[in-house]
Structure 1
Amino acid sequence: MSLASLLGEADRALAAQDFTRAQKLLREAALAQPEDLSIFLKLAGVSRAIGQFGVALDAVHRALSLSPLDFTALLMRAGLLDRAGDPMAGEAWGHALAQKPDGQLPPQMAAVLAEGERRHAAWLDAREQRLEAAMAVAEQQADDEERKRIARFRSNALRRTRHFHSEPTHFHFPGLVEREFHPRTLFPWLAELEAETRIIVAELEAVMSAERAELVPYIQYADHLPLQQWRPLNHNADWTAIHLWKNGHKVEANSRHCPRTLELLERLPQPVIPGASPNAMFSLLAPRTQIPPHVGINNGRLVCHLPLVVPAGCWFRVGAERRHWQRGEAFIFDDTIEHEAANPTDQLRIVFICDIWHPDLSTIEREAIAALIAAEDGVSAVGL
């Protein structure tokens, strides 16, 4: 019998619910065409229907050997392992969920997937409890920063989060520690900056009320440049800035209203790079505005945020960690790791932003970075 005849007869047997005959015909078809994924999926389904779960699992594994990421095959495998009480079922559900296609699924498949999501979540929770117990002794002896890293290590192992890397658009200096948010202990001046929040806010209000203050879109570049990550906010007034320093130039119209803020900046380890740095500004994000995921230009510098006017609900994500800004609580992050922000409220959000050297850099390395970027004209069209 030809392959077409075998498959036709198998379909008729299925329609008549003669699953035993359908299984026999599909086995013959699989021998005739061992590279056809659909035949093995049908054979798995028929074998499952007549309670031959081992045969069904073998057929699914044959299908996956042809297409290891096939969603239907992965879903069937997870269900079969779950039915058998196999300890690998939880992980198998995770493999299937990772290949979920976009769009709406057929009702029966959607129901199976929903149950799989519950099973996978329960498996993850149990696994997390087991790992927490195994790590408890070490974790109890850790300091706050160590505990944070240990917890992230566990979360990454569970695939609840993933690792992110520094991916600057222009300048990557090798060997620097990659951290989404850097520990406060590395920047003892943060407390002094935070203590001046009230004065910085007062100077912000002064510059915002000044007639000659300069309020400009945060993102400004020529439309023809290949910078797709910024396109929705390019020249957009939803994200604006009042610059005190911009690409190494003091903006007198704004900075003259902020003497104390400028004095504080002088104490910070800001890069001094002709055409590129220092940078310092008040960043204004309009209500109901989101800044899309993006990365910065140079991993030799980090970015400091001091929240000034922050309605409840405004958030900021770097890599896998999301934080809510709190007025007067500063933090340091690596902007060459993917990050995004949102103001989901009906009020304006304002954060003071400045750049600083990465603490891993020696004096000579800073000089080398500054020389190279200055020689490249500072990439001044991009800025902070």
Structure 2
Amino acid sequence: MGRLYDRGAQLLRRWYDRRLAEPAVLDTARYFPDAERFAAALPALRAEALGIAQQFNAIPRFHDIMREQADISANDARDWRMYIMQAYGVRVPRNLARSPTLAALVASSPDVLSASFSFLAPHKYIPPHRGPFRGIVRGYLPLVMPLDGAGHPAATLTVDGTAHRLHEGQFMLWDDTFEHEVRNASEEVRIVLLLDIRRRLLPAGLRLLSSLIVGVVAFGIRLQRSKMAV
């Protein structure tokens, strides 16, 4: 990642870390009660994601959208592709039109800022990294989860040193500023729904700062929205 991005992310994390004490994995009922509606829509969301996956090679790789992420997206010869439908409140209408169930859920959940289908190729490994900004939290809902020989999820999300193996339809809410990594140890593509969700229960000062940061990031995203459309 570029030095400017890294330095900015470090400063942001330090500022929030002094004021927040929440753990890496958060109480979904407290911080995002709408999670139940997303999980309940699993069959429709899976069908929409599988339809999009038929054009797998047309879906942008993450580092094609964000060059700053090349060290975690282009670290090996295997693909991590992101079908982005909304990013920091900036809609990608063409992509949203192909996932009407998700579009309706996002439209009725004002705390959801970003929504993407994440496609992880067989044996793809995303090395340890940290997100920049604690003003949002990450929703993670497996839609297509390969299983190993024992029937356990073959793709692992490790957050703050704890490995999580989630079955399809199990929603997890977590803070991506904690170090995390992902490994797909299977021969199949793993597909999850990723959401960026406005963090609730922030002190007034951090709430204002978060709103400002979201606005600045959204402005930059509008300039490159065309890269996301498939």
Q: TM-score, normalised by structure 2?
A: 0.76
Q: Amino acid of the residue matched to residue 297 of structure 1?
A: P
- 1:326 aligns to what? 167
- 1:363 Cα deviation from its structure 2 partner: 6.7
- 1:110 aligns to what? none
- 1:182 aligned counterpart, secondary structure: coil
Residue number among 182, 187, 191 corresponding to 2:36 in the alignment: 191
- 1:188 Cα deviation from its structure 2 partner: 2.2
Do the aligned residues in 2 keep the contact of 1:216 with 1:237 (CA within 8 Å)? no
Measure, in 2, the Cα distance between the counterparts of 1:375 and 1:284.
27
Change (3 A) 1:375 1:205: closer
Do the aligned residues in 1 keep the contact of 2:78 with 2:122 (CA within 8 Å)? no
Identity rate, percent: 24
- Tell me, which stretches of 5 or more residues in structure 1 are unaligned? 1-166, 272-277
Q: Amino acid of the residue matched to residue 281 of structure 1?
A: S
The root-mean-square deviation of aligned C-alpha atoms, in Å, is 3.1
- 1:219 aligned counterpart, secondary structure: helix
The structure showing larger relative contact order (alpha-carbon pairs under 8 Å, at least 6 residues apart) is 2
Residue number among 175, 190, 198 corresponding to 2:19 in the alignment: 175
- 1:370 aligned counterpart, secondary structure: helix
- 1:215 aligns to what? 59
- 1:200 aligned counterpart, secondary structure: helix
- 1:169 Cα deviation from its structure 2 partner: 4.0
Quick check: 1:315 aligned with 2:156?
A: yes
Change (3 A) 1:209 1:252: farther
- 1:289 Cα deviation from its structure 2 partner: 1.0
- 1:181 aligned counterpart, secondary structure: coil
Deviations 1:200-245 (A, max 9, x none): 112223333479x9610123444xx6x7xx4252397610011111
Deviations 1:97-121 (A, max 9, x none): xxxxxxxxxxxxxxxxxxxxxxxxx
Q: TM-score, normalised by structure 1?
A: 0.48
Do the aligned residues in 2 keep the contact of 1:180 with 1:321 (CA within 8 Å)? no
Range with greater deviation from structure 2 (287-296 or 184-193): 184-193
- 1:233 aligns to what? 73
Deviations 1:143-182 (A, max 9, x none): xxxxxxxxxxxxxxxxxxxxxxxx9546333412331111
Measure, in 2, the Cα distance between the counterparts of 1:232 and 1:364.
32
Do the aligned residues in 1 keep the contact of 2:89 with 2:218 (CA within 8 Å)? no
Deviations 1:335-380 (A, max 9, x none): 0000001001111000000111222225774343222453477664
Deviations 1:49-88 (A, max 9, x none): xxxxxxxxxxxxxxxxxxxxxxxxxxxxxxxxxxxxxxxx
Taking the TM superposition and a 5 Å limit, the aligned residue runs for 1:28-43 are none
Residue number among 124, 130, 147 corresponding to 1:295 in the alignment: 130
Measure, in 1, the Cα distance between the counterparts of 2:92 and 2:166.
26
Change (3 A) 1:246 1:321: same
Q: Amino acid of the residue matched to residue 194 of structure 1?
A: A
Measure, in 2, the Cα distance between the counterparts of 1:263 and 1:201.
15
- Tell me, which stretches of 5 or more residues in structure 2 are unaligned? 1-7, 148-153, 225-230
How many equivalent pairs are there? 205
Do the aligned residues in 1 keep the contact of 2:139 with 2:171 (CA within 8 Å)? yes
Q: Amino acid of the residue matched to residue 292 of structure 1?
A: P
- 2:181 aligned counterpart, secondary structure: strand
- 1:279 aligned counterpart, secondary structure: strand
- 2:192 aligned counterpart, secondary structure: strand
- 1:255 aligns to what? 96
Taking the TM superposition and a 5 Å limit, the aligned residue runs for 1:229-378 are 230-231=70-71, 233-234=73-74, 238-270=79-111, 278-312=113-147, 313-361=154-202, 365-375=206-216
Measure, in 2, the Cα distance between the counterparts of 1:335 and 1:202.
27
Do the aligned residues in 2 keep the contact of 1:169 with 1:296 (CA within 8 Å)? no
Measure, in 1, the Cα distance between the counterparts of 2:59 and 2:145.
19
Q: Amino acid of the residue matched to residue 52 of structure 2?
A: V
